[in-house]
A and B are shown apart, each in its own frame.
Chain A
Amino acid sequence: MSQGASGHDHPHDHDHPHDHPHAEIAQAERPGYYDIMETAVRELLIEKKYFGADEIRRQIEVLDSRTPALGAKVVARAWQDPAFKARLLENGRKGCEELGISFYDDTHLIVLENTDTVHNLIVCTLCSCYPRPVLGLPPDWYKLKPFRARAVSEPRAVLAEFGTIIPDDVEIRVSDSTAMVRYLVLPKRPDGTQDFSEEQLAALVTRDAMIGVVPASIQTGSVQ
């Protein structure tokens, strides 16, 4: 949509005072075709009073407040609390709402549980339907045609490219979200985490695990 709001793209460990010299932050390249179209349509809609600039800004704030950390909390709670997990699988949206996560886009949510016999993968072949209320914006690869086409035609090959080998005796279920329902994968709880706190568990749950392209793992855990 717009240039990154944070202003700087270089990695920071923030152990130095923030007064070092800076190149001027500026848009160096000409805006592309779609940038110009987005600006034109936005300005027209504002001019015709369909909505105001403040509503657009607010919606960007809403989207920015949604990150995979929310989904990770939902998953960790489900791993810790069997009654919550049952409610979550029965009605994903209500389960998330219990934790204070609102569904500003009025979509439904079905939570798909990975087990020893079933592995779930989510995709939107039409465009980019994604459980934004609980995960935020989708990764770029999720919206690109190769993933969208191949996830439904050769899911095992796609998963293998993510390093995820699914044994032949495990059924793969690909959920193509194209209308009003969004999906969230509830990964299998990694072995050796019996004594983990909910917070420690949440740190193991990555965005990609909740899309279903990788398992949750005790090694790879890091939210974002």
Chain B
Amino acid sequence: MASETLQDGVPMAGIVFAFGEQPIFRPGDAVRILTRTPVGHYRVPTYLRGKRGTVERVIEPAGVDNEQEAYGRNAGAKRHYYRIAIPMTEIWQDYAGSSRDGLRIEVFETWLERI
């Protein structure tokens, strides 16, 4: 797990973090947005399911899980959001514009997998 070091990379001996407390992805990590369709409330638009991108930054502090929050489960567990960079050409096969054009979106940790 990536939770052995602080954000600036300086290890802090003896500190144990709770599950989900530390971000599991880092800037530069290649990720895929999961293709799932839970019932209820969540914030991942359909057009981005299954798309591949790169973690641009970790959003601090951690936020509440919308899926759980909508059901009032202890207001939801906290995890990190990540600002994900996705090339437009990854989303739209016939994208008209520069191949450098991109989309940015913040995605909750439970919707990302490492690739």
Contact = CB atoms under 8 A, between A and B. Distances in A.
A125 B83 CA distance: 16
Contact of B102 (A154, A169, A171): A171
Interface in A83-99: none
Contact of A176 (B97, B101, B103): B103
Interface string B60-95: 000100100000000000000101000010011001
B45 interface: yes
Interface residues of A, number: 24
A179 B102 contact: no
Contact of B98 (A152, A172, A177): A172
B105 interface: yes
B83 A181 contact: yes
Given A155-B97, A181-B81, A125 B45 contact: yes
Contacts of B102: 171-174
A133 to B, nearest CB: 17
A39 interface: no
Given A110-B83, A155-B97, A172-B101, A178 B59 contact: no
Contact of A179 (B91, B95, B101, B108): B108
Interface string A120-157: 00000110000000000000000000000000111111
Contacts of B43: 126, 178-179
Contacts, number: 71
Tell me whether chain A's interface is mostly helix, strand or loop, or mixed. Answer: mixed
A179 B66 contact: yes
A176 B105 contact: yes
- On chain B, which size bracket covers the interface? 20 to 34
B114 to A, nearest CB: 21
B47 A152 contact: yes
Contacts of A181: 59, 81, 83, 106
B44 interface: yes
B106 A178 contact: yes
Interface of B: 43-45, 47, 59, 63, 66, 81, 83, 88, 91-92, 95-98, 100-106, 108
10 contacts: A154-B96, A155-B101, A169-B98, A172-B97, A173-B101, A173-B104, A174-B88, A176-B45, A176-B105, A178-B43
Interface of A: 108, 110, 125-126, 152-157, 168-181
